[in-house]
Structure 1
Amino acid sequence: MGAMENVIENREDRLPAEAREILQSLASQWEDVVDSKALQVIPLKGAMTNEVFEIKWPAKTGELSRKVVVRIYGEGVDVFFDRDNEIRTFEYMSKNGQGPRLLGRFPNGRIEEFIHARTLSASDLRDPDISALIAAKLKEFHELNMPGPKDVTLWDRLRNWLSTAKRLSTPEEANAFQLDSIEKEISLLEKELSGPSQSMGFCHNDLQYGNIMLEEGSKSITIIV
C-alpha cells in the first residue's frame, strides 16, 4: 500500500507489541537497514475501518528506503465481515500475485508490502481510462480460484446485517428505516438473481476507491482487501 498526504509521528507506541517484534525481525534481515529498532511510524489517511501506518527505517545510503505497511483492524467492525475469512483471502491473493505481499500477522492486524502507488480518489473513478484499468484487473480478480466452498455468501450476509440492525434499533428506528421491508426485498432479490444461468466468481464486496491503487508510470492497478 502507498501513502496519501500524511504527518510523520515517531510514535512506536501506537503499534501493538507483537507488531513491533515482527517489524524488528523483518528489518534485521535487511542489510541496508542501519538500526532495526529505529523505525518511523506514519499514520496514513484513507482507510475506513482500519488504522493504517507506513513504517520506515533509516538505510545505510542515508535515505529511508525500506518501507512496509501495518494494518490494525478496527474494533467493532467484525459484524460486517468474517475476519478469519478475510485473512485467508488476503494470504491466497498474496500467493497468487494479487494485492500487496503479506509479510507478517499479529492478533489484531497484519504487515504488508509497501506499494509505491497512489490511492484513487472519487474523481478518478469518473476517468474512463482508469475505469478500464480497474475493469481489466477485476477480471483477473474474479477468475481467482479461491479455495474453500463455492457458495453465495451475499444473502446470508445481508440477513445478518439486517438482524444486527434490528437488534440495535428501537421500534421507532426500525419503522423509520423500514427494516421489515428490507427483509422482503432481500428475499425478492435472491429469488430473481438466483438461477442456472449464473456463474460463480470470487468477489471483493468493498471496492470503494480507497481500496484501489494506481502506479502512474506503469498504469498498474492493485486491489486491496
Structure 2
Amino acid sequence: MVVVEVPEPIEEQERIPKEAKKILHELASDWSDVADFRALEVIPLKGAMTNEVYQIKWPTAGRSRKVLVRIYGEGVDVFFDREDEIRTFECMSRHGQGPRLLGRFSNGRVEEFINARTLSAADLRDPDVSALIALKLREFHYLDVPGPKNVLLWERLRNWLEAAQSRCPSEEAEEFRLNVIGEDINTLEKLLSEEGQRIGFCHNDLQYGNIMIDEQTRQITIIDYEYATFNPVAYDIANHFCEMAADYHTETPHVLDYTKYPDLEERKRFVQVYLRSSGSDKEAQDAEVENLLQYIEKYTLASHLVWGLWGIISAHVNEIDFNYMEYARQRFQQYRLRKPLIPGTGSDSVQ
C-alpha cells in the first residue's frame, strides 16, 4: 500500500463508519488540548491499493492531534487472515517497530499516526536511504515473532492461484495460462528449497509507501504488515528490488518501469550493508554476499508470480481505482522475460 496526503479535506460523515467515529470521539475526549472532540478533519491518503486510509486531525492550541483510520478493502481477506495481521501489528508495536493500535471496528482500525515522511519512489535509489533500509530490514528479519517459523511463500502462491482460477472467466484464464502456473510454482519451489538459506520474518510487500523516515533522526520505520510471514530473506529483498520499478503516484500508477530495477552495483551495495553486521571475515563475507545475490535474482521470479496473481484476484474483488489487470500483465511479462536467465527453471510456461 502507498499513501500520500491529499490537501483537500473531505466531510467525515461521508467516509468514516459510525463505529470508527465513536472510537475517534472517545480518543479525543481524553486529550485535554482538544477543545472539541467532534471538530475532526478527515484527509484521504492517496495511493492505497488494498485499503482506504485517512488521516484524522483535531485542532489544538499547539500542534494538531493526528491519528490514522484504515478501512479494509472489500474482498481482500482472500489474501491474508485479518486476525493474523492484527496479531502481527500488535507484536510490531510491542517491539517498537511501528504504530500503536488505538482501536478496532468491524471493517477497519484506528492507528497511531507516525510523525515521519513516507518514502517516494526516488528515495529507494538514494544510496544513503537504501543503506538505512537494508539495516532496518535485517533488524526486521530477526524479530522473534510468535507462531510457526516455516516458509509460507509456496503455500501462498498455490492458494492465490486457486483463488485466481475460481474468479477468472475462461478467456482471462487462457490469457494468463493459469492452467500451467502450478507447474511453474512446483519448479521454482524445487529450485529454491535448498537447505542453508536464512529464513526470517519477512514483510513481503516492501515498496516505498510502506517505509517511513524521520528526517531528523534518520530512523526508518516499516509499516503495513498485511502480507508479512516467515520466508527466505532473499525473497523479501528480491521483492524490494522489484518494487523499484514502480511509482504509484503518477497518473498511471499501474505502469512499471523495469529499467529502474537496480543494477548489480546497487544490489551488491544493498546486500553488503544488509550483511555488514554478520561478523565474518572479508573472504567469507564476499562469498556470503555473492550467494545471497544469486538467490535474490532467482526469487524475483516468485515475486512476479505472487503479484501477478494478486493483480488478477484484485481486479475481481477490489473496487479501488487501480488497473489491477494491466499490472498483472506486466508482472507476468517480467516473469516471462527473466525466466530464461535463471538456470534450472525449465521451459517458459507463462505466456
Same fold (TM over 0.5): yes
Counterpart in the other structure of 1:15: 16
Instruction: Compare the two structures and name the one with the higher helix fraction.
Output: 2
2:190 equivalent to 1:191: yes
Counterpart in the other structure of 1:216: 215
Q: SS of the counterpart of 2:85? A: helix
Shift of 1:198: 2.6
Shift of 1:43: 0.8
Residue ranges of structure 1 left out of the alignment (5+ in a row)? none
Map 1:28-39 → 2, pairs under 5 A: 28-39=29-40
Shift of 1:115: 1.2
Q: SS of the counterpart of 1:43? A: strand
Q: SS of the counterpart of 1:9? A: coil
Q: Deviations over 1:4-53 (max 9, x none)?
A: 34311232341111111111111111111101111111111122111111
Q: SS of the counterpart of 2:80? A: coil
Aligned length: 223
TM-score, length basis structure 1 = 0.92
Distance 2:160 2:174 in 1: 16
Q: 1:15 to 1:106 in 2, by over 3 A?
A: same
* Equivalent residues of 2:3, 2:209 under 8 A apart: no
**Which consecutive segments of 4 or more residues in structure 1 shift more than 6 A?**
none
Q: Deviations over 1:68-90 (max 9, x none)?
A: 11111111111122222111111
Distance 2:17 2:175 in 1: 41
The structure, 1 or 2, with the larger RCO (C-alpha pairs under 8 Å, 6+ apart) is 1
* Equivalent residues of 2:132, 2:220 under 8 A apart: yes
1:34 counterpart letter in structure 2:
A
Distance 2:174 2:143 in 1: 41
Shift of 1:2: 8.3
Q: SS of the counterpart of 1:148? A: coil
Distance 1:147 1:202 in 2: 10
* Equivalent residues of 1:2, 1:117 under 8 A apart: no
1:66 counterpart letter in structure 2:
R
Q: 1:40 to 1:95 in 2, by over 3 A?
A: same
1:31 counterpart letter in structure 2:
S
* Equivalent residues of 2:72, 2:108 under 8 A apart: yes
Counterpart in the other structure of 1:58: 59
Q: 1:176 to 1:184 in 2, by over 3 A?
A: same
Taking every aligned residue pair, what percent have the same amino acid on both sides?
A: 64
* Equivalent residues of 2:99, 2:112 under 8 A apart: yes
Counterpart in the other structure of 1:111: 110
Q: SS of the counterpart of 1:78? A: helix
* Equivalent residues of 1:3, 1:54 under 8 A apart: no
Counterpart in the other structure of 1:202: 201
Distance 1:171 1:187 in 2: 23
TM-score, length basis structure 2 = 0.60
